[in-house]
Structure 1
Amino acid sequence: MKTQYSLLLLLLLLGFTQCKSPAAKPDRISDEALMDTLQRRTFNYFWEGAEPNSGLACERIHIDGIYPEDDQNVVTTGGSGFGIMAVLAGIDRGYVTREEGLARMERIVSFLETADRFHGAYPHWWFGDTGRVKPFGQKDNGGDLVETAFLMQGLLAVHQYYINGSPAEQALAGRIDTLWREVDWNFYRRNDQNVLYWHWSPEYGWEMNFPVHGYNECLIMYILAAASPTHSIPATVYHEGWAEKGAIIDPHKVED
């Protein structure tokens, strides 16, 4: 995702600015200060650069702060999951007050409660001002289970952060729990196959035809699908779909 690439560039640039000659060793910052700098700048990217209505991560933020016309208000699902965790770290480190952080999280959850979903799964992109899906491609205009998993891991982190907090924080944790329980992971097995499919479209059905096998960045999708309290997948889906009956350990070509 482009949001992740932006963060990688940020970290690289930060690394260059911290490089000193051997003679300048006494001026190097501490590990704690470096961590704080990294977290603060990452936090600022998602806090200050959030799409105004949804509070979620924009698909693109140009360095001059100007959005191309075709990117206006477009927010990214998976990138928002990582952004939510960055904001959570900022709240905990005191970059904003706990009240300010809660207000942002409430805005995010309120958007997600009414935004387009497809059997509980979110699309790759939305228009942040309306919550309507923005197709990632012609046939990729419905549920994206991988991006949904990235988003859900961020939301579940917020849930655990707030579950024993103030009444308002506990109430938000409850709303997040509802969103989590409504993701129908089993639907994305495509007629009870022992594998999870990446996409489903209300217009094109399963035509994207992308069963997800490991090993890759999609492991979190299988973990969350197995952990769901309402739509948990059987263990065979992991062992046959993700691990390919043990073939995952050797170089091989996936046959579908």
Structure 2
Amino acid sequence: MKRKVTLTIVGLLLGLCAFSQTRKRSQAKPAELASIAPVGIIKNISDSALLDIVQRQTFRYFWHFAHPVSGLARERDNTVKGEYYWDYINEAYDEPNLSKGTFGPEACAIGGTGMGILATVVATNRGWIGRDTALKRLIQIVDFLIKADCYHGIYPHFMNGATGKTIAFDRLDDGADIVETSYLMMGLLGAKEYFNGNTKAEKYFQKRVQQMWDAANWNWHSKEDNKHLYWHWSPSNDFDMNFPVGGYDEALITYIVSASSPRHPISKELYENSWVKSDSWKNGKTYYGHELPLGNFDKGGPLFFEQYTYMGIDPNGLTDDHGIDYAVQTKNHTLINRAYCIENPKKYKGYGENCWGLTAGDSYKGYVAHCPEVDYGVIQPTAALSSFPYTPKYSMQALKHFYYDLGDKIWGPYGFADGFSESHNWYAKTHLAIDQGPIVVMIENYRSGLIWKLLMNNPDIRNGLKRLGFKSKWIKE
């Protein structure tokens, strides 16, 4: 599992200043923006109106804070230069390694961009931005990516949003990242399904996405055998990173997208060997009265495991030929996480029925993959809010608490701050693309199922699911 983001928190203000300066330097004309004004705490509104406010304000991160040259999603709204970042590769979520890194306001997240593209579809469908305006931004993104660094059609984890050049994490991890690229492709395929008209702009966008989709060689990351699918490849270091994509975690979408490719699909055998047969795939234990089918973490691990893949893949009615019911997996993991916070064995201030959600994100200790096994008293709002499709009642309780009771500390122009700890009187000033995106998308899946409908109706995605042995209400026998 890997989520690599920068550590030092310099605040929202510095991020906004850097953005403003970059805009002045840019020679590119950004897509015309439909201004979405931020709002504060508004009392006595309906649940539906509250969801509108949260989705719309969170979307501002991708709309107003996108890189002006490329339109890509910035990794976060604070930056690190010459400092450190957390690197969770091959770690057990206990104490992460520290590695040297150099990141600035140009650093954009490829996976976060895919999530932002899906959020743009939501914003268009909700009428916050016009269809033509949204297309201008999306064309800006694909025109940039079509010329940017990629490796056998696979993009790096981070990219310089002004130049399209790879931003390396270290001497080995300086090339293709198949997992982040799968999030990007999920976003692009969803947008291609939505902007499916016959206008010149829509046809152009569809063609660009298809070019990228056809070029992505997922099988390259198998070393031409069916034993493992590898997370990284480098033009300088080949597969020296040696990190297989094993389950169960946030990378199920990587196998689905890889199997869905019209030109370079992976095989069922590779999926079985590398994902299903990995030591961490199965669980089967019961916690707080809820059985957890998958994942070897005690009490399920971070909640983003149940959110990234399922932004596009509907878990309801989704089963596989190993007898796994993914509606049970996603809901029970969420209920277990909440139950742990209610039990609150470490007696942290604030935890309870209305304040729950442990997942990866910023904390007073830096960036940490929070979960019951690694609990430092930090709640990430994205954990409960991106769980709306699974626990709507409990997620709404948490949302109202975050907004009405804690809003003066954590609500801002890009929605909720990334994390907080009442025990340590610590409240983040930061926002991360990979945490903000799921809030917009998963709330929408709860409200309308929009993104599920788009991805599950994509013929390639349906073929990929069938190739891997999945069954779904969206797939005809």
Q: TM-score when scaled to structure 2?
A: 0.46
Pick aligned residue for 2:276 from 210, 219, 243: 243
**Is structure 2 residue 56 aligned with structure 1 residue 33?**
no
**Is structure 2 residue 70 aligned with structure 1 residue 54?**
yes
Matches within 5 A, 1:1-256: 1=3, 2=5, 28-62=44-78, 70-244=103-277, 248-250=281-283
Matched residue type, 1:43: F
CA contact (8 A) 2:226 2:267 kept: no
SS in 2 for 1:233: coil
What is the distance in 1 between the residues matched to 2:201 and 2:280? 48
What is the distance in 2 between the residues matched to 1:176 and 1:51? 20
Q: How far did residue 247 of structure 1 move? A: 7.6
Q: How far did residue 246 of structure 1 move? A: 9.4
- Which structure ranks higher in relative contact order (CA pairs < 8 Å, sequence separation ≥ 6)? 2
SS in 2 for 1:238: helix
Measured at CA, do residues 68 and 206 of structure 1 come closer, stay the same or move farther in structure 2, by a change above 3 Å?
closer
Gaps of 5+ in 2: 10-40, 82-102, 284-294, 298-477
What is the distance in 2 between the residues matched to 1:247 and 1:59? 28
What whole-Å deviation, never above 9, does each CA across 1:123-142 have from its counterpart, x for those lacking one? Answer: 01111111011102221110
CA contact (8 A) 1:42 1:86 kept: no
Aligned to 2:440: none
SS in 1 for 2:108: strand
What is the distance in 2 between the residues matched to 1:252 and 1:161? 37
Aligned to 2:422: none
What is the distance in 1 between the residues matched to 2:193 and 2:104? 33
Q: How far did residue 32 of structure 1 move? A: 1.8
What is the distance in 1 between the residues matched to 2:80 and 2:247? 36
CA contact (8 A) 1:122 1:148 kept: yes
Measured at CA, do residues 29 and 194 of structure 1 come closer, stay the same or move farther in structure 2, by a change above 3 Å?
farther
Measured at CA, do residues 101 and 240 of structure 1 come closer, stay the same or move farther in structure 2, by a change above 3 Å?
same
What whole-Å deviation, never above 9, does each CA across 1:66-107 have from its counterpart, x for those lacking one? Answer: x56641211111111111111121112111211111110010
CA contact (8 A) 1:60 1:71 kept: no
SS in 2 for 1:220: helix
Measured at CA, do residues 195 and 32 of structure 1 come closer, stay the same or move farther in structure 2, by a change above 3 Å?
same
Measured at CA, do residues 28 and 243 of structure 1 come closer, stay the same or move farther in structure 2, by a change above 3 Å?
farther
CA contact (8 A) 1:196 1:237 kept: yes
Q: How far did residue 37 of structure 1 move? A: 1.0
Aligned to 2:357: none
SS in 2 for 1:114: coil
SS in 2 for 1:197: coil
CA contact (8 A) 1:118 1:142 kept: yes
What is the distance in 2 between the residues matched to 1:197 and 1:68? 28
SS in 2 for 1:116: coil
SS in 1 for 2:253: helix
Aligned to 2:92: none
Measured at CA, do residues 247 and 150 of structure 1 come closer, stay the same or move farther in structure 2, by a change above 3 Å?
closer
By percentage of residues, which structure has more helix? 1
Measured at CA, do residues 212 and 45 of structure 1 come closer, stay the same or move farther in structure 2, by a change above 3 Å?
same
Matched residue type, 1:53: V
SS in 1 for 2:146: helix
CA contact (8 A) 1:139 1:204 kept: yes
What is the distance in 2 between the residues matched to 1:178 and 1:31? 41
Q: Give the RMSD, CA atoms, in angstroms.
A: 2.4
Q: TM-score when scaled to structure 1?
A: 0.83
Aligned to 2:91: none
Moved runs in structure 1, 4+ residues, more than 3 A? 67-70, 250-253
Aligned to 1:21: none
What is the distance in 2 between the residues matched to 1:170 and 1:77? 23
What is the distance in 1 between the residues matched to 2:50 and 2:271? 39
Q: How far did residue 252 of structure 1 move? A: 6.3
Matched residue type, 1:50: A
What whole-Å deviation, never above 9, does each CA across 1:165-196 have from its counterpart, x for those lacking one? Answer: 52321221121011011110110002323321
CA contact (8 A) 2:108 2:160 kept: yes
Matched residue type, 2:163: T
